[in-house]
Structures are given as C-alpha cells and as structure tokens.
C-alpha cells in the first residue's frame, strides 16, 4: 500500500511546477503561457502575497467491524474545515521575507494561533505563540526564537553555504524544470484558457488571461506515464548540473543510485503493475489549478481545487480529502514595507535559551 500511496501522490505532485509565479501574453496558448511564466519569474524582485489553505473534508471510512482509533478521530475532527492563512512580504536584495501564519482548527477542540516569521540571508526568526492546551513557559511566549543558519550547518557537520538561499538561481532552476515538464504534456489534454469573468477571481484581482491545468481520472494514467518515462529523466539531468549543487545539496552518489533504481527492470515492472491497478485505489473527483495573469504579464492570483479518494482494498479503508488553496500576489517589484522588521534586543532568544527554559520547567515537576 505504501507504494500505491506514493503513486497517488505523484499524480498530484506532477503539477507542482505549475504552482510557480507565472506570466503570459493573452494571445499565447495555455501551455506556452505557463512556460513563459518561468522566464518572467526571474524578474520577480519583490512582492506581497496572501495565501490560504482550507481543508473542506478529511475522512477515513473503515470497515464496520474495524477497531476505532479515538486519537485519529480527534485529529480528523480538528482538521476538518481547518484553514491556514499566510500574509507575507518578500524582497530579493537585501534578502528579507516576513510572513504571519494563522492556523484555525475546528471541531470539538476549536483553537486559533498566530506565528509571525522573519527570514534573512543567514537567520530565521519565529515568534512563539500562546497555544491553548499546550503549557509553554510564560518567559518565552511572545519571544522570537533566532535560528542562525550558519551555526546550524556547522552543528550538523556540514559547511555553511549562502548559495542555498540564492533565490535567483532557484528561479533559473524552476525555469528549466518547468519548461522541460510542460514540454512533455499535450496542450489540449491538460491545459485550457478560462474566461476571467468565469474564473471566480476575488475582488480587486484583474486578469487578462486565466490558464487552467487539470488532472482527471481519464488522463491520470497517461500523465503518470509521461512523468516517469519522459519528464523525470530529463529533470534529473537538470538538477544534477554542477551549477545547482550549492542550492540543492544533492550528493552525486545518491543521485547515481536513484537513477539506477529508477531504470531497473524491477522498478519498471512495479510501476507498470501499480499503474494498471490505479483505478482500484485512486479516484480524482477534481484537480484543477488556475493561474490568473494581469495586463503586465505577471501572476496575480492562483487557486487550487482538489477532491480525491484513496482506497486500500486490503484493509477496506477509504480516505477522502477535499481542499482548496489560493495565492494572491500584489505590489510586484515595488518597494516593500516590512511591518515586523528584524527582531532584536529583549524580543529575541536563541534556541539554546529556549531549550534551557523548557528544561527548567521539566525539572520543576
């Protein structure tokens, strides 16, 4: 069942590359519009963003004579209708990002908490929230924990590499991967234009073109075959390039082993068998990703609608998941305003100090 879950996930993850900032001329074909997106993404120097993820449904149907798991039921109750929102600001030079994440859990244990974060070239800061039912030391709640990326690398026995946060190089990598991936898929089968007035865009979002990428039960087997047999080998060659080593930190030996396993006869046979049985354990009710592009050829809004069911015939379990997600971009390449700023002074504690605070709480019991 583990590999079946993996194959089901791959059917969805193959769309990850199109969830990148995009652009398009309104006269372009849908696929060409998204391929142009990667090129335009390299000009993104700053922006504001608003993201939201809502879990509309999450359920596990087990046999009537099966044993019930109280903890699982409680988690499912909390996650159903839960939502996560992120408001953020980004600039490339000097590299600085700040975002505020708000998590709202529903069900029998309704709760909500907010986590502000700040990211610079060498450090990450996150604010410790007050979380209901979780006894955190009062001395740390509301403080920013400072993570020194250089120190963490050294503690982990690796050399600190500032290139791992090279956003320009990551954009170039995304460009190559996206162009390669999109080139393998048929325009009319997987992509289409939607009239902006029919795309349910939020108020204030103006778009000249909306492109939809979709995976259905009818094309999921073909999509996976194209991904594994055509696109994946080419993408592996791209990420193996020396120029991307400092960003991805991929070990040559691990990559060689992965290529060998991917091309082995056993792996091919296993993939073909799972693909043939795909309809038994995966149902895609809906999987659509829309990208809205404004008159300046920048993405201003994206939304994802996913409604799937994964079955385990051996156990008789059915997992249903339905969610919606969206990203909205504004103030593209404008001067940004950072409301949090770089935390400093008494508002900041180190990870060592945080561990000491928790240690003192534990020793008091």
Domain coordinates of the chain in residue numbers?
A: 36-121+167-220+279-334
* Interval 120-127 mean pLDDT: 92
The CATH number of 36-121+167-220+279-334, from 1.20.950, 2.50.20, 1.10.287, 2.60.120, is 2.50.20
Evaluate whether 199 touches 290 at the Cβ level (below 8 Å): yes
**Distance of alpha carbon 268 from its chain centroid, rounded?**
28
Length of the chain: 365
Q: Higher-confidence residue: 335 or 163?
A: 335
Q: Is the pLDDT of residue 305 over 90?
A: yes
List the one residue out of 328, 327, 310 whose CA is nearest residue 319.
310
Q: What six digits make up the tokens of 33?
A: 């519009």
- What is the predicted pLDDT for the residue at 66? 54
Half-sphere exposure of 333 (CA within 13 A, CB side): 10
- From residue 107, give the alpha-carbon distance in Å to each of 112, 243, 249: 12, 48, 41
298: pLDDT strictly greater than 90: no
pLDDT given for residue 334 in this prediction = 94
pLDDT of residue 117: 96
pLDDT at 154: 77
Q: What is the mean pLDDT of residues 39-55?
A: 87
Q: What average pLDDT does this structure show over 183-209? A: 90
Number of C-beta neighbours around residue 67 at 10 A = 6
Going by the DSSP 8-state scheme, the letter that residue 216 receives in this structure is -
How confident is residue 33, by pLDDT bands cut at 50, 70 and 90? confident
Q: H or E segment at 248? A: helix 245-248
Q: Tell me what the pLDDT averaged over the chain comes to.
A: 82
pLDDT score at 88: 95
- Over 90: is that where the pLDDT of 364 sits? no
Average pLDDT of 186-201? 91
- The model's confidence at residue 257, banded by pLDDT at 50, 70 and 90, is confident
Give the separation between CA 8 and CA 227, rounded to whole angstroms: 13
């Amino acid at each position: 069942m583990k590999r079946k879950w993996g194959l089901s996930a791959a059917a969805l993850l193959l769309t990850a590359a199109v969830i990148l900032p995009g652009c398009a001329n309104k006269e372009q074909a849908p696929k060409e519009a998204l391929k142009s997106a990667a090129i335009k993404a390299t000009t993104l120097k700053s922006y504001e963003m608003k993201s939201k993820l809502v879990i509309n449904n999450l359920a596990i149907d087990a046999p009537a004579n099966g044993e019930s798991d109280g903890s699982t039921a409680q988690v499912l109750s909390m996650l159903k209708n839960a939502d996560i929102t992120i408001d953020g600001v980004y600039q490339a030079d000097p590299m600085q990002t700040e975002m505020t994440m708000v998590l709202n859990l529903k069900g029998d244990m309704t709760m909500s908490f907010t986590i502000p974060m700040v990211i610079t070239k060498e450090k990450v800061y996150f604010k410790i929230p007050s979380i209901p039912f979780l006894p955190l030391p009062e001395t740390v709640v509301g403080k920013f924990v400072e993570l020194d990326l250089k120190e963490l690398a050294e503690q982990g026995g690796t050399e600190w590499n500032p290139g791992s946060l090279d956003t320009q190089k990551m954009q170039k990598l995304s460009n190559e991967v996206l162009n390669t991936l999109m080139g393998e898929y048929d325009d009319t089968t997987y992509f289409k234009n939607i009239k902006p007035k029919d795309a349910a865009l939020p108020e204030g979002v103006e778009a000249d073109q909306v492109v939809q990428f979709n995976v259905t039960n009818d094309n999921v087997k073909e999509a996976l075959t194209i991904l594994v047999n055509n696109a994946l080998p080419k993408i592996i060659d791209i990420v193996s390039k020396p120029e991307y080593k400092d960003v991805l930190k991929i070990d040559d030996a691990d990559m060689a082993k992965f290529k060998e396993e991917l091309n082995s006869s056993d792996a091919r046979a296993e993939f073909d068998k799972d693909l043939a049985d795909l309809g038994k354990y995966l149902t895609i009710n809906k999987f659509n990703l829309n990208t809205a592009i404004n008159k300046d050829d920048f993405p201003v809004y994206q939304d994802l609608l996913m409604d799937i069911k994964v079955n385990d015939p051996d156990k008789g379990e059915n997992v249903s998941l339905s969610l919606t997600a969206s990203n909205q971009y504004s103030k593209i390449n404008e001067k940004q305003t950072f409301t949090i700023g770089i935390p400093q002074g008494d508002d900041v504690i180190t990870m060592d100090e945080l561990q000491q605070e928790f240690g003192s709480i534990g020793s008091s019991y």
